């Protein structure tokens, strides 16, 4: 029997999805004026908007990157990890427990996607592999 993803409660971190996850279909990047694959989701918001935790979890890492800014990586159990990129002033530190809907920080400009509409970039991993919402039964 194939293992199915668990169903659990979740909330969107902020607004609507502007650009979906795609490992096969190229998507346009206004910043680089080209077509490229997109391992995450771009979710609409304005600079300074709050970004909420997708689900209950534990902060695994906080990473500084010249491409994505500050990324807060949260383990949401069941092999699901979400990376929330371009977070200003994270409200938690590594090892902290978060609850679904907790404010993890505020949105800021993503250096590598700065010419696209204002958004945050999140990446969802299931057992270490990039996936979209449908792979988790969350679409």
pLDDT per position in the chain (139 positions), as tens? 344 444 445 556 666 777 777 777 877 777 667 777 678 888 888 889 889 998 899 999 999 998 888 999 999 988 999 999 989 999 999 999 999 989 999 988 877 676 777 788 889 999 999 887 666 555 4
CB 52, CB 9: distance < 8 Å: no
E-strand stretches of the chain: 17-19, 22-29, 34-38, 41-44, 50-52, 57-65, 69-75, 80-85, 87-88, 97-98, 103-107, 119-126, 129-131
CB 59, CB 108: distance < 8 Å: no
For position 4, what pLDDT does the model report? 46
For position 98, what pLDDT does the model report? 96
For position 3, what pLDDT does the model report? 46
Q: Which two tokens stand for residue 83?
A: 């990376």
């Amino acid at each position: 029997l194939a293992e199915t993803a668990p169903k659990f409660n979740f909330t969107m971190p902020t607004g609507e999805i502007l650009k979906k996850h795609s490992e096969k279909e190229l998507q346009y990047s206004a910043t680089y004026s080209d077509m490229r694959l997109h391992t995450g989701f771009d979710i609409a918001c304005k600079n300074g908007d709050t970004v909420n935790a997708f689900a209950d979890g534990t902060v695994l890492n906080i990473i500084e990157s010249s491409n994505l800014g500050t990324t807060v990586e949260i383990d949401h159990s069941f092999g699901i990890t979400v990376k929330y990129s371009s977070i200003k002033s994270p409200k938690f530190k590594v090892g902290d427990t978060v609850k679904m809907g907790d404010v993890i920080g505020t949105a800021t400009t993503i250096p590598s996607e700065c010419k696209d509409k204002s958004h945050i970039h999140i990446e969802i991993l299931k057992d270490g592999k990039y996936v979209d919402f449908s792979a988790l039964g969350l679409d």
